[in-house]
Amino acid sequence: MKSKILLSVKDFPKGTGTTQNYPIDQKIPSPDPSIFQLSKNLSGKVTLTKLTKLYIASFHLKTQFLLPCSRCNKPTKKEIELKFKQEYKPPDIKKDGIDILPVIFEELILLLPSKILCQESCQGLCAVCGKDLNTGKCACKQIKKSPFEKLKKLKIKK
Which residues sit at the interface with Zn ion, rule CB under 5 A? 69, 71-72, 74, 118, 122, 126, 128-129, 131, 138, 140
CB 61 within 8 A of CB 24: yes
Cα torsion 39, 109, 123, 119 to 10°: value is -50
At its nearest, how many Å lie between Zn ion and the CB of residue 6? 39
Nearer to Zn ion, 104 or 125 (CB): 125
Q: Kindly tell me the number of DSSP H helices and DSSP E strands found in the chain.
A: 2, 8
Q: Give the span between the Cα atoms of 21 and 15, in whole angstroms.
A: 16
At its nearest, how many Å lie between Zn ion and the CB of residue 130? 7
Nearer to Zn ion, 18 or 142 (CB): 142
At its nearest, how many Å lie between Zn ion and the CB of residue 115? 11
Nearer to Zn ion, 58 or 73 (CB): 73
Neighbours of 110 (CB within 10 A): 9
At its nearest, how many Å lie between Zn ion and the CB of residue 109? 23
**In the chain, which residue ranges form alpha helices assigned H by DSSP?**
101-111, 147-157
Nearer to Zn ion, 104 or 118 (CB): 118
